[in-house]
Amino acid sequence: MVDAGEAAMTAQDMAEKVVVITGASSGIGAQAARQLAARGATVVPIGRSVQRSTELARSLGVKPLIADFANLIEVRQLADQILADHERIDVLLNNAGGLFTPRSITVDGYETTLQVNHLAPFLLTNLLRERLIASARTNPVRVINTASVANLFGRIRLDDLDWERRRWSAFRAYATTKLMNIVFTRELARRWAGTNIATASFHPGGVATNFASSSWLAGLVYRSPLKNLLLISAAQGAAPLIWLASDADSAALDGTYYHRLRRNGPASPQANDAGLAAALWERSAQLTGTGIPSAKT
């Protein structure tokens, strides 16, 4: 399928839509927040940086929500605040994430990349589950997860999610969590089938941001004077996120992984392993204490 391209996208009115977006304080998250707000959406921007999140929220005329995904207590508090502030949620954009080095363990006892990129968005999605389902009873709801083509280099081992038995590298840990984002999305579509909630994951492209600046290998590209020739802008990277959140046909968002605007992007063979997807969901539920195996109520 040919990339639809930004020029072919419509600008759907998002008036009265509530859009929750994590990782909104910079990069593609900030770009998406601004553009969706410009279309009329009530944007709920979430970030880790107090200064950047406050500046963005002020420009949108909303209050900032601050949360560090390396702390699951903060994720739970975040969910409570969202539920208290908003009677409905039309779009959830799980966009926060990063590449972290050196290897570290969170206050919850998990490898940082695993928790920030997978466990935290898994927990947040499930904590917002009932509100998402209730909202979907009147209008279609979307859950979009930011993944990466790096998933091709990932390998999920349920017996070693924290990389204690394997040689750890920042990139391999990152790639594996991006694969988890795709697997989680597909299992979410399966478990939440019939709820009027559409879901997809996507690769935004190689974006010229500083998300991987702590990695010397990735930093060679991201700090290169040729960065802007090798990578696309944050605005270009945000285009698929905006399109999936608003303009894409809901019927096509069936857990599919998009490479920018193209369906069925290149993915690891593990991305299509239904047994692995179910097992990863159950293991993630155990680690985050959600205890929520299904969304059908």
Give catalytic residues, as residue numbers.
Answer: 174
Please calculate the CA angle 126-151-28 and round it to the nearest 5 degrees: 70
* DSSP, residue by residue, 188-243: HHHHTTTSSEEEEEEE--SB-SSTTTTSHHHHHHHTSTTHHHHSB-HHHHHHHHHI
| Residue 185 near residue 247, CB atoms below 8 Å | no
Q: Which two tokens stand for residue 16?
A: 């009265």
Name the residue type at position 214.
S
Q: What angle is formed at CA 161 by the lines to CA 156 and CA 162, rounded to 5 degrees?
A: 140
Closest CA to 278 of 177, 187, 181: 187
Q: How far apart are CA 248 and CA 251, in angstroms?
A: 9
CB neighbours of residue 233 within 10 Å:
15
SS3 105: strand
